[in-house]
Structure 1
Amino acid sequence: MQAVAPQVGLRLTALAAKCLAIAALSVTALSVRADDISDVQKLLASGKNAEALQKADQFLSSKPRDPMMRFLRGISLSQAGRAPEAITTFTKLTEDFPELPEPFNNLAVLYAQQGQYDKARTALEMAIRTNPSYATAYENLGDVYAKLASQAYSKALQIDTRSQVAPKLAMIRDLFPKERNSIATASVTPTPAPTPAPVAPPPAPVITPKPAPAPAPVAAPVQATKPAPAPAPAPAAEPSKSDAAQEREVESAVKAWASAWSKQDMDGYFASYAKDFNGGKTRKAWEQERRDRITSKHNISVKISGVKVDINGNKATVRFHQDYKADSLSVSSGKRLDMVRSGNNWVIAKESAGS
C-alpha cells in the first residue's frame, strides 16, 4: 500500500507539469498580449514563481477575467506550494469557463496530492465530459481509480486476512511501471495429476485365418483412392501467414509514427493518422495544436515496448507501453491505437491512453 501512494502522486504531478508546457487552453481569439503570456511562462519554467505571480497579478488587475493568465497564476500558486489558493483559482476558472478541460485536470491533481481522490475523480470526469479526446485526463483518472482500488483492497486485507485478498492488492500495484520491475509475479504451476498406470489390454481372441480368396488383388484400386484427399490441408497455412504479415505491417507503422514524433517530423507524424482523425476538433485546429506542442520542445523521445496487435479484417487494435520524454518532462504509460488500412498503409483512427 505504501509503495502505491507515492507513485500516484508523482505521476499526477508530472502530468500537471505537462499543462505548464502546453498552456494553450484553446483561447486563441482572446485579446491577450503574447509577450505578457510568454514572460510569465518563462518565469514559471525557470522556477521564478514569485516573479511570475507578481506579473500575472499586475496583468489581471486590468483584465481580471482573462482565462490564460488566470490559468498560469494557478500553476504559479501550485508550484509555490500554495495549494488552497491554487484550488480556488482553478475552481473559479471551471465555473467561468466550463468548456475548458485543463483547469478541471489541474484541480484534480491538487485534490489527489491532498488525498481527496473522490474529488479528483469528479474533476477528471468533468474534464473528459468537456473534451472526450483529452488523453491526459484519462490517464490521470486511471491512476486515481487505481489508488481508490488499492485503498479498498488494503482495507479489506485489514478486515479479512484470508489469502485470496492479497493477490488482488498485488495486481493493483502492478499497474505502475516501477512496481512492475520490482514486484515479482508469482507463477503458479498446477500440480499435474498422477499418470494412471497403464492397464494391459485383454488378450486378443485367437482367430484362425481362412485362406485368402483369389480375388484379393482387386482391393488394390480401393486403397489407391484413399490418399487422394491428403493434399487438402495444405492451403490452411496461408491465412495464419497472412495475419502474421499484417501484424508486422501494423507494428512497423506504429514504430514509424513514434519515430516521426521523436524526430519532430510533422509531415511523417500527420501522415500516420487517418484523414478524418481530428482529436475532437477540426483537423486544421488539431494539426496546429499538435505542431505547436511538438515543435516547441527542444528534445523529444518516444519509445514503445510490449506491442500487441489484434487484427480484424481491415481494422487493428494495438496496445503497448509508451515512454515519453520531452525536455524535463518524463511520462510512462499504457497506450492504445485503433488503426485502419488505407490503401497499402495502416493509419491511426483513434488514440487513447490506458490499456
Structure 2
Amino acid sequence: MKTPSFLQAQFRSGTRATVTQPLRLMAMSVALSAALSAPLVMAQSDDYAEVNRLMRAGQFSEALTKADQHLANKPRDAQMRFLKGVIQTESGKPTDAIATFSKLTEDYPELPEPYNNLAVLYAGQSQFDKARAALEMAIRTNPSYATAHENLGDVYAKLASQAYSKALQLDSGNTGVAPKLSLIRNLFSADTKSARPATAAAVTSPVTPPSAASTKPAPAPAAAPVATSGEKNDVEAAVQAWAKAWSSKDMQSYLGAYAPSFTPPKGQSRSDWEADRKARIVPRTRIDVGISDLSVSVQGERATARFQQAYSSDNINVSGRKSLDMVKKGDRWLIVRESTGS
C-alpha cells in the first residue's frame, strides 16, 4: 500500500471471488490533478494538515468534523471536498462518499481523481459498469493518469471473469472458457502474492521469452552510461525553468520547454495543444507552480524527472505527483512526455 500517496480500497467480501487486485484510491495529500497543482496559503494548509493527522490516527469522526468546519467557510474548496470523500470512504460510508465525489465531478469535471475514486466505490458495490464509465471519464480528462488505466484493467478483468463464469453456467461443456477464467484467477492471485512495490521500475522494452529450442545464454546488457552530477543538475534546472515560465505565464519559454517530438494528450495536434495551454494559462490572474521532492535519473541522452508539483491559480489550490520524460537536444533538456498520478 502506498502511503501517503495512495490509499487502497479492495472489493469487499463476496464481490471479488476471482479478481483480487485492489483498485487504488488516491489520498488527498497528493491527489487533485497535478495539471492544476500548487502551494496552499498557510491558514488552509493548517486545516489540511490537521485533517490528515486525524485520519492517520484513525479519528475519522473528528477529521470529518474538521473538514465540514473548513467547508462551511469555503464550500467550493475542491481539495477539502475531495479529502472529505476519502474520510467518508475510510470510515465506511460509501453512499456519502459517492455523493461527495459525484458532486465534485459536476463542479470540477476537469479533475480526474474524483472519477477514479467513484470507480473504486462502485467496484466495492459490484457496480462494475459504473466503475468502468467513471474510469473512462478519468482517462478522458487526463490520458496520462496511470492509476486510472490500471484500475480500468482491473475492472475489465472482473467483468471478463463474470462473463466467463456465466458462459460456463450456460454451457459447461465449452472447453475453451475454463482456461480463460483460470488465467484471470491465476494472474491476479500471483499479483497479490507478489505485491508490487510503491515505486516500480519502468519497463522500457517488451520482454521476449527465449525460444524453447535455444540453449544460448542471453547476452549481457550493455552498461548504461553513468550520469554525472552535472547532467542531473542540468535536468533539475530545466524542470525549475519550466515551472518558472509556467508561473510567470511566459508562454514562449513554457512552450519552448517541450521537444518537437512531444506528443500532446487526448490525440491533439501540437498546434491545438499549444492553443489549449494558452487558453488555460494566459487568462489567469495569477499562477504559482512549486516543485518539491525532485528526483532525477539520467541515462545517456534521456532523463526522467519525478516530483511533487503544487499548483495554485485564482481559486484553485491542488497538488500531485508528476513525471517528465526528457531528451537532450544540443545543450538543452526538453520534455517529450508528461504524466501525473504516478
TM-score range, shorter chain: 0.5 to 0.7
Query: Which residue pairs with 2:72 in the alignment?
Result: 61
The match for 2:22 among 2, 11, 16 is: 11
Please give the per-residue CA displacement for 1:264-301, whole angstroms capped at 9, x wherever unaligned. Answer: xx869969x9x74899699x99983774xx8xxxxxxx
SS in 2 for 1:100: coil
2:39–2:288 Cα contact (<8 Å) kept: no
Query: Which residue pairs with 1:74 in the alignment?
Result: 85
The match for 1:127 among 120, 138, 156 is: 138
Query: Which residue pairs with 2:291 in the alignment?
Result: 288
Query: Which residue pairs with 2:184 in the alignment?
Result: 172
What is the deviation of 1:341?
8.8
Please give the per-residue CA displacement for 1:232-272, whole angstroms capped at 9, x wherever unaligned. Answer: xxxxxxxxxxx968x6457x89xx9xxxxxxxxx869969x
Residue identity opposite 1:33 in structure 2: Q
Asked whether 1:116 is paired with 2:127, we answer yes
Cα distance between partner residues in 2 of 1:173 and 1:147: 10
SS in 2 for 1:75: helix
SS in 2 for 1:288: strand
Query: Which residue pairs with 1:137 in the alignment?
Result: 148
Q: Structure 1 residues 180, 348: closer, same or farther in 2, change over 3 A? A: farther
Query: Which residue pairs with 2:170 in the alignment?
Result: 159
Cα distance between partner residues in 1 of 2:83 and 2:192: 35
What is the deviation of 1:170?
1.8
SS in 1 for 2:109: coil
Q: State the percentage of identical aligned residues.
A: 50
The match for 1:22 among 30, 53, 73 is: 30
1:104–1:124 Cα contact (<8 Å) kept: yes
Greater length-normalized contact order (CA 8 Å, ≥ 6 residues apart): 2
Please give the per-residue CA displacement for 1:102-136, whole angstroms capped at 9, x wherever unaligned. Answer: 11111111001110000001001101111111111
Structure having the higher helix fraction is 1
Highest Rg: 1 or 2? 1
What is the deviation of 1:167?
0.9
Residue identity opposite 2:79 in structure 1: M
Cα distance between partner residues in 1 of 2:258 and 2:219: 27
The TM-score, its normalising length taken from structure 2, stands at 0.55
Please give the per-residue CA displacement for 1:64-106, whole angstroms capped at 9, x wherever unaligned. Answer: 1111111111111111100001000000000001011111111
CA RMSD after TM alignment: 4.9
Q: Structure 1 residues 267, 124: closer, same or farther in 2, change over 3 A? A: farther
Cα distance between partner residues in 2 of 1:21 and 1:177: 30
The match for 2:45 among 34, 47, 50 is: 34
- 5+ residue gaps, structure 2, are 1-12, 195-217, 240-256, 266-276, 279-286, 296-300, 303-323
- 5+ residue gaps, structure 1, are 183-242, 257-265, 295-313, 316-336
User: 1:1-355 residue pairs with structure 2 within 5 A?
Assistant: 5=16, 8=19, 11-12=22-23, 15-16=24-25, 18-25=26-33, 26-28=36-38, 33-161=44-172, 162-176=174-188, 178=190, 248=222, 276=258, 288=291, 291=294, 349-350=336-337
Residue identity opposite 2:38 in structure 1: T
Residue identity opposite 1:69 in structure 2: M
Residue identity opposite 2:175 in structure 1: S
How many positions carry a matched residue from both structures?
A: 239
Please give the per-residue CA displacement for 1:5-41, whole angstroms capped at 9, x wherever unaligned. Answer: 26756521xx21x434413443538777111111112
Q: Structure 1 residues 44, 136: closer, same or farther in 2, change over 3 A? A: same
Residue identity opposite 1:28 in structure 2: A
Cα distance between partner residues in 1 of 2:181 and 2:167: 10
Cα distance between partner residues in 2 of 1:46 and 1:152: 41
Cα distance between partner residues in 2 of 1:268 and 1:166: 55
Residue identity opposite 1:57 in structure 2: D
Q: Structure 1 residues 140, 244: closer, same or farther in 2, change over 3 A? A: same
SS in 2 for 1:176: helix
The TM-score, its normalising length taken from structure 1, stands at 0.53
Q: Structure 1 residues 29, 288: closer, same or farther in 2, change over 3 A? A: closer
1:9–1:112 Cα contact (<8 Å) kept: no
What is the deviation of 1:171?
2.1
2:32–2:111 Cα contact (<8 Å) kept: no
Cα distance between partner residues in 1 of 2:18 and 2:133: 20
1:174–1:180 Cα contact (<8 Å) kept: no
